Amino acid sequence: MKNITIAIDGHSSCGKSTMAKQLARELGYIYVDTGAMYRTVTLYALRQGFFDEASSLNEAALRADIEGGKVQVGFVLNPTTRLPEPSLNGEVVEAYIRGIDVSSRVSIIAALPFVRAALTLQQQKMGEEGGIVMDGRDIGTVVFPHAELKVFVTARAEVRAQRRYDELLAKGQPAAYDDILKNVRERDYLDSHRAVAPLKQADDALLLDNSDLTREEQSQWLLQKAREAMAE
């Protein structure tokens, strides 16, 4: 079996990360959550006070810091879960990047060409050797257009909002369902309509709508597709 590159793209909150993580574990592959990288840059901008009260961004300041090497985004292996967690200048930031403060601003950051250029390059380096499962929005279209397996995941917006609501609640970060649904819809729109690397299904990606699938059904399907691609 060869070491392949698996690109998992799709809408926000449809369980991409969970399924990609599980698949990587089953195959013994490296897992990279690229959304976490955009979230980490957003956290940096928030911490530096680069967003004003109306969420308008001081783009020049962020650009200067990125180009000056002041924003090092990486991954650190959690020794207990054996999963990579995002880091910002060496600090593990997983606990700070999933809340509504980051979620409601990350599309602004992800639309900036200089942010995308820096993160795309880093992602391509991480995947040079294959044996990787990477999830995001533009992995099959921009980062790895030649990936051996591409999956485009989606689910109905209400289903996704409910999942995110449950996830935040479980983490002790409750938020209003209506706000989350609004955020899911806004991000769908922004992700698919931005000028650089918009979210779209690659021509050769397999479509997976998991609105009515159990996690088990979904992971069986995915594992099967991965085995087929590895055997080719």
Of positions 41, 136, 205, 208, contacts ligand DC by CB under 6 A? 136
β-strand 84-88 against 73-77: which pairing, if any?
A: antiparallel
User: Any contact of residue 191 with ligand DC (CB under 6 A)?
Assistant: yes
Residues sharing a CB contact under 8 Å with residue 104, sequence separation 6 or more, in sequence order: 55, 183
The angle at the Cα of 128, spanning 125 to 131, to the nearest 5 degrees, equals 125
Instruction: Give yes or no for residue 44 binding ligand DC (CB under 6 A).
Output: no
The residues facing 57 across adjacent strands are 51
Q: Which two tokens stand for residue 23?
A: 């698949």
Residue 173 or 232 having the CB closest to ligand DC: 173
Rounded least distance, CB 169 to ligand DC, Å: 17
Q: Which residue stretch of 35-43, 77-85, 165-173, 210-218 sits at the interface with ligand DC (rule: CB under 6 A)?
A: 35-43
- State yes or no: residue 38 binds ligand DC (CB under 6 A): yes
Terminal-to-terminal C-alpha distance of the chain: 8
Nearer to ligand DC among residue 27 and residue 123 (C-beta): 123
Judge whether 72 and 90 are in contact, CB under 8 Å.
Answer: yes
Using CB under 6 A as the binding rule, whether residue 50 contacts ligand DC is answered as no
In the complex, minimum distance from the CB of residue 96 to ligand DC, in angstroms, rounded to a whole number: 13
Q: How far is CA 34 from CA 56, 138, 164, 166, 173, in A?
A: 23, 9, 18, 22, 22
**Does residue 94 bind ligand DC (CB under 6 A)?**
no
Percent helix, percent strand, percent coil in the chain, to nearest 5? 50, 15, 35
Binding mask of the shown chain, residues 194 to 213, with x at each position contacting ligand DC by CB under 6 A: --------------------
The smaller minimum CB distance to ligand DC, of residues 7 and 229, is found at 7
x/- mask, ligand DC, residues 139-158, rule CB under 6 A, reads x-------------------
Query: Residue 106 interacts with ligand DC (CB under 6 A)?
Result: yes
Give the other-Cβ count within 10 Å of 220's Cβ. 12
In this complex, which beta carbon is closest to ligand DC, that of residue 107 or of residue 154? Answer: 107
Choose which of 138, 154, 208, 210 interacts with ligand DC (CB under 6 A): 138
Q: CA–CA separation, 92 vs 119, rounded Å?
A: 18
Contact footprint for ligand DC (CB under 6 A): 12, 34-35, 38-39, 106-107, 110, 136-139, 187, 191
